[in-house]
Structure 1
Amino acid sequence: MRTNAPNPSPVYRIAGLSVLVVLLWGVTAWLRMLAADVPPLELTGIALIGAAVSSRMLPGTRGALTFALREHPWYAWLAVIVGPIASAAFYFAALAYAPAAQVVVITYSWPLLFAITSDVYIRRRPMPLTFFSLCLGLAGVAVMQDWATAPSFDAWLGYAGALLAGLSWVGYSLFLQVYSRAIAPAYPAFFAAGAILALTLQAGFGGLVWPGSLSSWAAGVALGIGPYGLGFVAWGYVVRHGNPRIVPVVPYAVPAVAAITLVLAGRTQPTLPLLAGCMLVLLACAASACVRAPR
């Protein structure tokens, strides 16, 4: 008797989008450094403008504003707008105060917290291996810091910003995972509303700053098209359609890609603590990947 095998194309699509997300997010720290003269909130607004334009070019997004207003309640607008703004603004601010390599690793330790909170939300007991992975990832952050020299006050501010960026990612990703309505057709509207909010906040609290160089403009546009445009859309698809036990593992590769990018760009020295910290975080990724969803 013949049995119909499941269509493998979604699996390959999720795998391909996961790789795309890792590569795009891996270059975010370097792009932020190219736009160092732009305040975090303003750079977030510029990036979200690019995200709105680039996501509008995707199929199925015609009439995004009408669709978003008709289909999504106020709390969806709040979550999908505030999540990207908070994660990007805290991340960009953290990169201005602390070493980029440490900021990236601290921020992208959030998948471990996401795995735990996701299990708790659906009333599934977290696996002991998940807690072990969390401890291993935190150990990687500590080793990367190289505590032979105490961090400065500015560095602590950067670490706090990185942690807040990671927690923003946890909340945003958890919402995407549990929210039942289609998000993809409304992304251009959400991104545009987020850009308006971010730029308004920057204008009210610190004043808008005209980017001083072509590289700053290029970095802002690249951030919008890539990490905060296609990256957000791809991550939304992966979270909503991927294996809930495997999805949190995906961003673990980001610190390694970011470290390689920063070293190649001459922004970070390839020190032994940096290498050891990345290795521990990758081991945490591998340990977490051993957890599989039950049949």
Structure 2
Amino acid sequence: MSYEDRPAFRIIGLSGVVIFLWGVTAWLRMLAGSVPPLELTGIALIGAALSSCLLTGPRGATWSAIRRHPWYAWLTVGAGLVGGAAFYFAALTYAPAAQVVVITYSWPLLFAIASDVYSHRRPAPLTFVSLFVGLAGVGVMHGTTAAPSADAWLGYVYALASGLCWVAYSLFVQVYSRPIASAYPAFFAVGAVAALLLQAATGGLVWPGSTGAWTASIILGIGPYGLGFLAWGYVVRHGNPRIVPVLPYAVPAVAAITLVLVGRVQPTLTLWAGCALVIMACVASMRTRRHAGRV
């Protein structure tokens, strides 16, 4: 069934859920405190595995799905989940959250290009314009700061690495010929084990030191890395391939609003101006790519 045959409201609704859940991730990472990035990834993926078990059908269907996937699917999906989350959490440890969100969620530009090239489509020039407007918007949103420190630069590198992991993961899910929804609990569980073993081998396990940190870590798993990835997997497989790549551009705006509401960022005129630019870029890019898909 093509994306035109899918109920539009379902795609739109799930896209909204994904954008919201990913938008609050930076705040939840702050609440998790000093938990190391790999360990936080492991805890989050355990929560994702447990929550996705309730949404992907009976256990027999999960085990049947596991046997259908080749080794490269396990490697790509597992590396995408662990790398994308761990690099993002590490970036938030070393660099300011606002800039990290901006850099990480510039990955839709690369995803849009990769998706079009893989499908033998020529990227529309206006798509690049709208995407760069979105990137300019997130830059305006957070204004200018002093020269970054060495730790901040390291955080920016981690943020870029996280974005590249999401590009690889999303493109693979979009083009992979076998459905993976029923196997998500196993993908999450394997990723959790890998992340915790890596943390134990490299720095030792440092469990959350408070109830609040535990709660934030678990919510990260159930929400952004459980429900969020199940919803995103459906959207990238069944949504309009010319619109889906630009949807995550709304995440920095949601993240900025969240950080303002919880008192982590001060509301400024540049912040709201940047949010407006991001929203305008998303709308313009969706309209452009929808029109190109009909040509």
Contact 1:68–1:189 at 8 Å: present in 2 too?
A: no
- Asked if the contact 1:64/1:189 (under 8 Å) is kept, the reply is no
Q: Tell me if the contact between 1:111 and 1:248 (Cα under 8 Å) persists in the aligned partners.
A: yes
Q: How does 1:174-185 map to 2 (within 5 A)?
A: 174-185=171-182
Q: How does 1:43-54 map to 2 (within 5 A)?
A: 43-54=40-51
Taking a change above 3 Å as real, the CA distance of residues 8 and 119 of structure 1, as seen in their structure-2 partners, is: closer
Q: Which amino acid aligns with 2:260?
A: V
Equivalent in the alignment of 1:85: 82
Task: Write the deviation string for residues 48-83 of structure 1: whole angstroms up to 9, x where unpaired.
Answer: 000000000114252355224310000100111110
How far 1:283 sits from its partner (Å)? 2.9
Q: Match of 1:125, as an amino acid?
A: R
2:132 paired with 1:135:
yes
User: Percent identity, aligned pairs only?
Assistant: 71
Segment drifting more, 136-145 vs 102-111: 136-145
Query: Which stretch of the first structure deviates more once superposed, 156-165 or 63-72?
Result: 63-72
Could you tell me how far 1:294 is from its partner in structure 2? 2.3
Aligned to 1:263: 260
The 5 A counterparts of 1:49-64 are: 49-63=46-60
> Which segment drifts farther, 173-182 or 51-60?
51-60
Distance, in Å, in 2 between the alignment partners of 1:54 and 1:64 is: 16
Moved more, 108-117 or 145-154: 145-154
Among 161, 171, 182, the residue aligned to 1:164: 161
Letter matched to residue 228 of structure 1 = Y
Instruction: Specify the alignment match of 2:220 in structure 1.
Output: 223
Contact map agreement 1:143 1:276 (CA 8 A) in 2: yes
- Say if 2:2 is the partner of 1:38: no
Contact 1:51 1:191 in 2 (8 A): yes
Q: Give the Cα–Cα distance (whole angstroms) in 1 for the partners of residues 278 and 113 of structure 2.
A: 17
Amino acid at match of 1:89: A
Counterpart amino acid of 1:210?
W
Give the partner amino acid of 2:157. A
* Structure 2 letter corresponding to 1:166: G
Q: Aligned equivalents of 1:197 and 1:9: distance in 2?
A: 36
What TM-score comes out, normalization by structure 1 length?
Answer: 0.92
Secondary structure at 1:63 match in 2: helix
Amino acid at match of 1:162: A
The counterpart of 1:286, out of the listed 283, 287, 293, is 283
| Distance of 1:149 and 1:41 partners within structure 2 | 29
Contact 2:48–2:222 (Cα < 8 Å) also in 1? yes
CA drift of 1:91 comes to: 0.8
Aligned partner letter, 2:274? G
* Structure 2: segments with no counterpart, 5+ residues: none
* Deviations, residues 198-223 of structure 1 (Å, cap 9, x unaligned): 00000011110021111110011101
Unaligned runs of 5+ in 1: 1-5
| Counterpart-to-counterpart distance in 1, 2:196 and 2:101 | 24
Q: Which amino acid aligns with 1:269?
A: Q
Q: How many residues align?
A: 290
Q: Residues 177 and 240 of structure 1 are in contact (CA less than 8 Å); yes or no, is this contact kept in structure 2?
A: yes
2:63 to 44, 61, 66: 66
Cα distance change of structure 1 residues 194 and 64 upon mapping to structure 2, 3 Å threshold: farther
Aligned equivalent of 1:16: 13
Per-residue Cα deviation, 1:148-184 (whole angstroms, up to 9, x for no partner): 5222222222222211111111110000110010100
Backbone CA RMSD of aligned residues: 1.9
The code of the aligned residue for 1:294 comes to R
Cα pair distance change 1:148/1:212, threshold 3 Å: closer
Q: How far apart in 2 are the matches of 1:57 and 1:147?
A: 45
1:113 Cα deviation (Å)?
Answer: 1.6
Structure-2 separation of matches of 1:148 and 1:46: 34
Taking a change above 3 Å as real, the CA distance of residues 202 and 214 of structure 1, as seen in their structure-2 partners, is same
Greater shift in the superposed pair: 188-197 or 59-68: 59-68
Q: How many Å separate the matches in 2 of 1:222 and 1:146?
A: 30
Q: Give me the TM-score of the superposition, normalised by structure 2.
A: 0.92
* 1:3 matched residue in structure 2: none
